[in-house]
A and B are shown apart, each in its own frame.
Chain A
Amino acid sequence: MTYHFDFAALAPFWTLLAVGALRTIGLTALSTVCGLALGILGAVSRAWRLPVLRTVFGVYVEIIRSTPFLVQLFFIFFGLPSLGVKMNAWEASILAMVINLGAYCTEIVRAGIEATPRGQFEAGQSLALTRAQLFRHVVLRPALTRVWPAVASQVIIVMLGSSVCAQISATELTFAAEFIQSRNFRAFETYFVAAGIYLILAIALRRVLLWFGRAVLSRRP
């Protein structure tokens, strides 16, 4: 093997990688907030057997969990324009990530809600908590605290999965890497470094999310 590795060939492009990484972070942050909100709505609909909504969310969860993210993305970006729904690459990427994360969060959060003992709810009622207080302190927070590690794992999977958004020209980290390797002809080095950046992002994201779980969710009021 006579190949000479040349990681220095990446140096002129470091700003592109940095911008790409920031966009991946932004994409993930936005999708996490919206996806989790959607998931909580779905979880409540499913756990409390709300009419209609529970069926809608049930079908939604099964469809999304049984199809690849890439196909969901292509369906939204290439398929929906036939129905007159046109989106740019960012809108399609965010929508696909929110829909994807929302389905997984529905199931994860539902498991958390269903694991909360009934007695807790009755105890809250007997303390004359309002419905909103009951929901926040007795249903949602204990449920989220319980399943937060699973939520964190899913967010990381979605962040890593967002690398395929480059295929519809969303200019995130993978897009930056593809652009750079087409300029410096150093595909291996470029993707190696990009993968390293993803690994750092994943490790950092896990720390941030687990910190959030400890410091905010399970904090005693």
Chain B
Amino acid sequence: MGGFTLWDIVHGLLLGLRWTVLLALVAFLLGGAVGLLLLFMRVSRVAFARRVSKAYIEVFQGTPLLMQLFIVFFGLALWGIDVPPWLAAAVALTLFTSAFLSEIWRGCVEAVPRGQWEASSALALTYSQQMWRVVMPQAARLAIAPTVGFSVQVVKATAVTSIIGFSELTRMGGMVANATYQPFLVYSMVAVGYFLLCYPLSLFSRRLERNLHAARHH
């Protein structure tokens, strides 16, 4: 093994795993904030806001994350900004995540029965009262399970940032594999790393789905 112990490999991969987790958290939180803004635009009464939000979602869902990453990486540089890979990674993943989250959440808002709008309008609530007091609380409950489910996609999406040189799990895996000449072992361990992050999240999401769904029938 040329002087590399199993522990050396694991240690290298754990260093990368840290950045995978951190990047996923940043993308999820910032993407959630931008996604919420997009959601309000998407369901607003202003046609222009709806159109802008729809175009944004179409563009970021219809182009590869890798292209978004390259455009941010090279595009920010055109503005004279020195772009470290982590910055481009965080910006691109935030844009990507926000588009998907806002679309998921729109589905939840629309899943709130029409009658809820009608009933609250019959009670003479204003639009913002209807939105905040009646529709959003119900939509939020519906949104929990798919949002947790989508966090799995965010964790997996961080792997692509290895291509612009961000030292997360996949890139550390590539470097360790080159150094040890053990690509089979190393990439298996990289896959296990992602599995350990993602599988519990998807189990959790499924459990939430069952519990929240069951509760709705009572």
Q: Which A residues fall within an 8 A CB radius of B?
A: 1, 3, 62-63, 65-72, 74-75, 78-83, 156, 160-164, 167, 174, 177, 187-188, 191-192, 194-196, 198-199, 202-203
Asked whether B195 lies within 8 Å of A199 as measured between CB atoms, the reply is no
Q: Does B53 contact A (CB under 8 A)?
A: no
CB distance from A42 to the nearest CB of B (A): 17
**CB-defined contacts of A187 to chain B, threshold 8 Å:** 70, 74
Q: Does B150 contact A (CB under 8 A)?
A: no
Asked whether B79 lies within 8 Å of A1 as measured between CB atoms, the reply is yes
Q: Interface size bucket, B side?
A: 35 or more
Of residues 64 through 114 on chain B, the ones whose CB sits less than 8 Å from some CB of chain A are 64-68, 70-71, 74-75, 77-80
Bound-state CA distance A161–B62 (Å) is 11
CB distance from A156 to the nearest CB of B (A): 8
Asked whether A163 lies within 8 Å of B199 as measured between CB atoms, the reply is no
Bound-state CA distance A62–B186 (Å) is 20
Interface of B is mostly: helix
Q: Given that A191-B71, A195-B71 are known contacts, is A68 also in contact with B170, CB under 8 Å in the complex?
A: yes
Number of A-B residue pairs, CB cutoff 8 Å, is: 125
**Of B28-36, B131-139, B158-166, which stretch is located at the interface?**
B158-166
Using an 8 Å CB-CB cutoff, how does the interface string of B162-187 with A read, 1 for contact, 0 for none?
11000000100110010000111111
CB distance from B81 to the nearest CB of A (A): 10
Select the residue from B58, B64, B65, B170 with max chain A CB neighbours within 10 A: B64
Select the residue from B62, B71, B75 with max chain A CB neighbours within 10 A: B62
**CB-defined contacts of B78 to chain A, threshold 8 Å:** 1, 3, 188
Q: Given that A78-B177, A188-B78, A195-B71 are known contacts, is A69 also in contact with B156, CB under 8 Å in the complex?
A: yes
Bound-state CA distance A199–B62 (Å) is 5
Asked whether A82 lies within 8 Å of B63 as measured between CB atoms, the reply is no
Given A71-B159, A75-B190, 15 more A-B residue pairs with CB atoms under 8 Å apart are: A65-B202, A66-B199, A68-B157, A68-B158, A68-B170, A69-B156, A70-B159, A71-B187, A75-B184, A78-B187, A83-B184, A174-B67, A188-B71, A191-B74, A199-B58
